[in-house]
Structure formats: C-alpha cells, structure tokens
Amino acid sequence: MNIVVHTDGGSIGNPGPSGIGAVIEYEGNKKTYAKDIGMGTNNEAEYKALVFALRKTKALIGSQKAKAAQVKCFADSQLMVNQLNHEYHLKNKRIINLFVEVWNLMLEFSRVEFNYVPREQNQEADTLVRSVIGGGRLFG
C-alpha cells in the first residue's frame, strides 16, 4: 500500500500560538486534519505535524497494513526534511526529542520517505494550519 502525506506546521511569532495541518491519502481516501497545538516554535510545529500524521495514518489503516505500507511524506520545511534525511545536524533538545519520536514511528511502516516541496506544492496543508491559528504573520 502506498500512502502520501503532506504536513505543515506554523506559528504566529516564533515562539507563539502554533498549529498543524495534515493531508493523508490512502486507498482512494483523502483525510485532512487541522489542530491548534498551543505555544511553540515553527520548527516544533513542523515536527509535531509529522508525528500527528504518522500516528493518524497508522490508526486509519491499522497496524497490520501499516507494516506493509510505504509512506511518502512531503513538507515545506527544508530544515526538518534535511534533518530526517541525515543531511543536517540536530542541535535543539526539543527538536531532537521530536526527531526520535518520528524515527520510532517509522518503525511501524515498511518504508517512510521524507521529501521537501516548496510551499506552493504544499498549499492544502498550509491552508489547514492557517485555519486554526488565524491571522497575523505566520512563520512556517
């Protein structure tokens, strides 16, 4: 089974009120999620969006199907994608903890791939984030 996930996270101020958005496509289904996650930084929100999406994906398809599933994740956070692909080093302790959480969730699937896309190609997830944190200058 092939699954496509688009995630985005953002904050108003950095740190500030934060939100996440996720679009999950699997077996002809498309689910969208938006959630206010309280105060945090843009980078934390990006990681939390991915954690949320991977957990939600497993819940949607079940543990057995997850073990055989290949997940392609798309995000407009070049920093996060490059960290997950071992191209950038991790320095921030909270980001390291979120990185480990993502890495542990990867074990629930056959394969998980991380891809950077420009914001224009991640518009749906971006719109979901904006829907939960409202106006103001959005980071992310």
Encode burial over 81-108: b for 16+ CB neighbours within 10 A, e otherwise.
bebbeeeeeeeeeebeebbebbeebbeb
Mean pLDDT of 6-27: 95
- d(CA 137, CA 113) in angstroms, rounded, equals 30
Total structural domains within the chain: 1
Mean pLDDT of 57-78: 98
Q: Indicate the average pLDDT of the chain.
A: 94
140: pLDDT strictly greater than 90: no
- Identify the band that residue 138 occupies on the pLDDT scale cut at 50, 70 and 90: low
- CATH number, position 93: 3.30.420.10
Cis, peptide link before residue 15, omega less than 30° from 0: yes
- Identify the band that residue 13 occupies on the pLDDT scale cut at 50, 70 and 90: confident
Residue 119 belongs to domain spanning: 2-139
Per-residue pLDDT, 31: 98
136: pLDDT strictly greater than 90: no
**pTM recorded for the entire structure:** 0.94
